[in-house]
């Protein structure tokens, strides 16, 4: 039996395969935005770009970005993106930060466990 679900983005009904959460149309749009975001970061003359600035430019919310990031969509540009540490607010490189924490906060957290 095909599994019919609502698209997480536009609400349209579609037949789910591969556990997709978006309909084909939204998925296509999303892929386009992702590739635009990647080229924007790659082509930017700046050494690093804060994620906030990128999200503002492409009108994407942080939650959506996080999901896409963890799905491996921004691996190519993670070295050029900075993010505010979720604990202390310090700007850290996205690449190498674990769970969006700076090294010292990540260490502190580890010591607590
Ligand atoms: Zn949709
Ligand atoms: Zn921190």
Question: Mind listing the pLDDT tens digit for each residue in 19-60?
Answer: 888 999 999 999 999 999 999 999 999 999 999 999 999 999
Tokens of 17: 């395969």
Inside any domain, residue 44: yes
Inside any domain, residue 89: yes
Inside any domain, residue 64: yes
Confidence of residue 97 (pLDDT cuts 50, 70, 90): confident
Q: Counting ligands in written order, which one lies closest to the CA of residue 27?
A: 1
The helix, strand and coil proportions of the chain, stated in percent and rounded to the nearest 5, come to 45, 15, 35
SS3 call for 38: helix
Cα–ligand 1 centroid distance for 42 (angstroms): 28
Confidence of residue 79 (pLDDT cuts 50, 70, 90): very high
Number of domains in the chain: 1
Inside any domain, residue 95: yes
Domain that holds residue 42: 23-112
Q: How far is CA 48 from CA 9, 30, 38, 79, in A?
A: 30, 23, 13, 8
Q: Given this model, what pLDDT does residue 99 score?
A: 82
Inside any domain, residue 6: no
Inside any domain, residue 108: yes
What secondary structure letter does DSSP report for 11? -
Q: Give the chain's end-to-end CA distance (angstroms, integer).
A: 44
């Amino acid at each position: 039996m095909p599994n019919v679900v609502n698209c997480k983005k536009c609400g349209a009904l579609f037949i789910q395969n591969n556990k997709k959460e978006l309909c084909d149309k939204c998925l296509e749009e999303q892929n386009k935005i992702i590739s635009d975001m990647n080229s924007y970061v790659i082509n930017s003359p700046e050494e690093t770009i804060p994620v906030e600035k990128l999200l503002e430019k492409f009108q994407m919310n942080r939650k959506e970005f996080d999901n896409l990031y963890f799905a491996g969509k921004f691996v190519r540009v993670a070295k050029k993106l900075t993010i505010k540490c979720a604990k202390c607010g310090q700007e850290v490189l996205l690449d190498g930060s674990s769970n969006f924490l700076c090294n010292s906060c990540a260490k502190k957290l580890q010591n607590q466990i």
